Structure 1
Amino acid sequence: MQKTRWAILGPGAIAESFAKWLPGSEHGELRAVASRDPERAAVFAARYGAEASGTYAEVLARDDVDAVYVATVHTTHAELAIAALEAGKAVLCEKPLAPSADETERVLAAAERAGLPVVEAYKHRFSPLARAIDDRLGRGQVTTPLHVQAHFGFAAGSRDGRLFDPDLAGGAIFDVGGYPVSFAVSAAAEAGIELSELHLANPHGRVEGGVDVFSSASVEAPGFTAFVECAIDTQLPKSADIVGQGGWITLEDAFGDRDLSPATLTHIHEGQSHRIEVAQIHPFAAEADAVSRALSEGRLESRAMPWEQTRTVARLLDAWHAGVMATG
């Protein structure tokens, strides 16, 4: 497989992690960095050894870039992803792909027109631990009716910046709420639940300054329930449980961090408790390789985070956010 030549769009904090771990991917190399501020892009490019830098338009016009990593604020994801696709580049986009289901559909439609992959970067979905969970659900070791619990939250040190700016799609749901929702959606998919039947119920939360700072909800379908919660003002465990007929899967760390994927699950099956350990990987390298494989194989989506799940997560996040903002 040829090397995938990457450009980073948006040299912010999370882009630092992508640039740090991209050299550990099997198929990727950093070629360029883009920003609204060309000087900022040049400094970042020099730090990580990229050959080129410039504005978004300048970098997207280059013929030596195959794929882009969109690492800007949520409200610019769709615009930049579509521009990249129209310029002939594959897209890896930080979550959420867009802060609305309608904008998500616009991006996916642009990918279909371009015939190029778009992958939403929920990093836990690209790990060996995710494959171990999928395997156990797919083989019926934990079956419906299924109940899931998943949590992700942290206490932000400041009320400044994009997290607390409603004009930048700030708040807990769009920043970290997608993690527990995507976990629940992937569990439902592997258990054979029709994702179109999933709906959001019982949204609750605290709203401060026009953004949700703590939120919880249920995701429900026949034979399936999930309790999800997220926060940017409260430390929550990054844990998850899947409980069903015949077994129980529990994860003390379901999502890992920017450097390493989670490595351990406990599986209770047929009265026996098994502690399972899998290899840890660098999530950003794995995401990049997922895009490279899709490009090489002529696929529009990654098997680890297929579009049906991206669409379902976007729809549920829309409903969750609207419900909390209406009642919080």
Structure 2
Amino acid sequence: MQKTRWAILGPGAIAESFATWLPSSEHGELRAVASRDPDRAAAFAARYGAEVSGSYADILARDDVDAVYVATVHTTHAELAIAALEAGKAVLCEKPLAPSAAETERVLAAAERAGLPVVEAYKHRFSPLARAIDQRLQRRQVAAPMQVRAEFGFAAGGSDGRLFDPALAGGAIFDVGGYPVSFAVAAAAAAGVALEGLTLEAAHGRVERGVDVDASARLAAVGFTAHVDCSIGTQLSKRADIVGDGGWITLENAFGDRNHSPKTLDHFHDGQRDTIEVAQVHPFAAEADAVSRALRDGRLESRAMPWEQTRTVARLLDAWHATVMAGAR
């Protein structure tokens, strides 16, 4: 398979992880780096061995770039993803694909017009552990009625920067809330729950200076409920639990980290408890390979994070954020 030639759009902290682990992918290589600041792009490119650098327009105009990794602030994701698609590039975009359901739909519509893949980078979805969970739920080893609990949070240690800027879609829900929501959505999908029926049933949170610092929500569908929590003010675990008819699944670390995917789950089924350990992967390499395989196969989406789940997560985050912000007024 021919190598996918990648450009990074936005040489920030998370792009450092992508550049570090892209060489571990099967099918990707870093070709270019783009930024609003060409000097910053050039310095990043030199550190990671990219051949070229420049502005966003410069790099998107090149015919030796096949795919882009969008790693800018949330509010610029849609604009850059659409520009990349219109320039003939596949897109891997950091979560959230956009900070609203409407903007998410704009990106997916652009991908359909271009006939090119767009993949949202919820890194835990590209791990062998995610496949192990999906298989157990598809086999009804844990079945409806089902309840999911999941949380993700950290103490930011300050109150400035993009996380605390309402104009940049700051706050806990858009930064880390998508992890437990995407976990719940994937569990619901694997269990056969109709995602269009999954709705926000209740939500609350703590808002300071226009951004949600902590937030909780209850999601519900027929035979399915999920309780999710997130924070940028308090350290939370990365634990997730799935409890249902016939058994349960527990993950002490459901989301892994930037270097390694999660690897262990506890599973109780048919009267027996087992600890399952799977291989670990480098999440950014796995995401890049998912895009490469979609390009090779002529698919618009990744099987690991299909558009139906991206749409559902976007819709639920939208509703969660709006409810929390309305409650603060």
Superposition TM-score, scaled by structure 1 size: 1.00
Residue 299 of structure 1: aligned partner? 299
Distance 2:266 2:203 in 1: 29
Q: Which residue in 2 is equivalent to 1:76?
A: 76
Provide the aligned length of Structure 1 versus Structure 2.
Answer: 328
Query: AA paired with 2:88?
Result: G
Q: In 2, distance between residues paired with 1:239 and 1:2?
A: 38
CA distance in 2: counterparts of 1:115 and 1:162, whole angstroms: 33
For residue 32 of structure 1, report the CA deviation from its aligned partner. 0.1
- Residue 232 of structure 1 and its aligned partner are, at CA, apart by 0.1
Residue 277 of structure 2 is aligned to residue 281 of structure 1: no
Aligned to 2:6: 6
Distance 2:134 2:29 in 1: 30
Paired position in structure 1 for 2:213: 213
Secondary structure at the counterpart of residue 279 of structure 1:
coil
C-alpha displacement at 1:158, in angstroms? 1.4
Residue 311 of structure 2 corresponds to: 311
Aligned counterparts of 2:158 and 2:24: Cα–Cα separation in 1: 33
CA RMSD of aligned residues (A): 0.4
CA distance in 2, matches of 1:202, 1:50: 47
Are 2:94 and 1:115 equivalent residues in the alignment?
Answer: no
Q: Which residue of 2 aligns with 1:157?
A: 157
Secondary structure at the aligned position of 1:323 is classed as helix
Q: How does 1:110-149 map to 2 (within 5 A)?
A: 110-149=110-149
Tell me how far apart the structure 2 counterparts of residues 12 and 213 of structure 1 sit (CA, whole Å).
23
Shift, 1:7, TM fit:
0.0
Q: What amino acid is aligned across from residue 87 of structure 2 in structure 1? A: A
- 1:301 aligned counterpart, secondary structure: coil
Q: How many Å separate the matches in 2 of 1:130 and 1:159?
A: 34
User: What amino acid maps onto 1:305 in structure 2?
Assistant: M
For 1:59, the equivalent position in structure 2 comes to 59
User: Secondary structure, in 3 states, of the residue corresponding to 1:261?
Assistant: coil
Deviation at 1:59, TM superposition (A): 0.2
> Residue 265 of structure 2 aligns to which amino acid in structure 1?
L
Query: 1:236, 1:157 → 2: CA distance?
Result: 14
* Superposed counterparts of 1:195-274, under 5 Å: 195-274=195-274
Q: Within 2, Cα distance between the matches of 1:326 and 1:10? A: 32
Equivalent-residue separation in structure 2 for 1:307 and 1:50 (angstroms): 30
Instruction: Tell me the distance in 2 between the aligned counterparts of 1:36 and 1:145.
Output: 50
The offset of 1:270, in angstroms, is 1.4
- 3-state SS of the aligned residue for 2:315? helix
Q: Which residue of 2 aligns with 1:46?
A: 46
Deviations 1:250-303 (A, max 9, x none): 000000000000000000111211000000100000000000000000000000
SS of match in other structure, 2:204: strand
Structure 2: segments with no counterpart, 5+ residues: none
Shift of 1:201: 1.6
Equivalent position amino acid for 2:164 in 1 = F
Deviations 1:131-183 (A, max 9, x none): 00000001110000010000000000111100000000000000000000000
Quick one: distance in 2 between partners of 1:321 and 1:201? Answer: 13
Amino acid at match of 1:203: A
- Letter of the 2:59 partner, please give it: V
Task: Could you tell me which runs of 5 or more consecutive residues in structure 1 were left unpaired when the two chains were aligned.
Answer: none
SS in 1 for 2:300: coil
Equivalent-residue separation in structure 2 for 1:269 and 1:199 (angstroms): 28
Of 83-92 and 155-164, the range deviating more from structure 2? 155-164
The Cα of 1:34 is off from its aligned counterpart by: 0.1
Q: Deviations over 1:208-261 (max 9, x none)?
A: 010000000011001000000000000001000000000100000000000000
**Corresponding residue for residue 167 of structure 2:** 167
C-alpha displacement at 1:202, in angstroms? 1.3
Secondary structure in 2 matching 1:238: coil
Question: What residue identity is the alignment partner of 1:149?
Answer: R
**Which residue of 2 is the match for residue 105 of structure 1?**
105
SS of residue paired to 2:31: strand
Q: Give CA deviations for 1:66-113 in whole Å, capped at 9, x if unaligned.
A: 000000000000000000000000000000000000000000000000
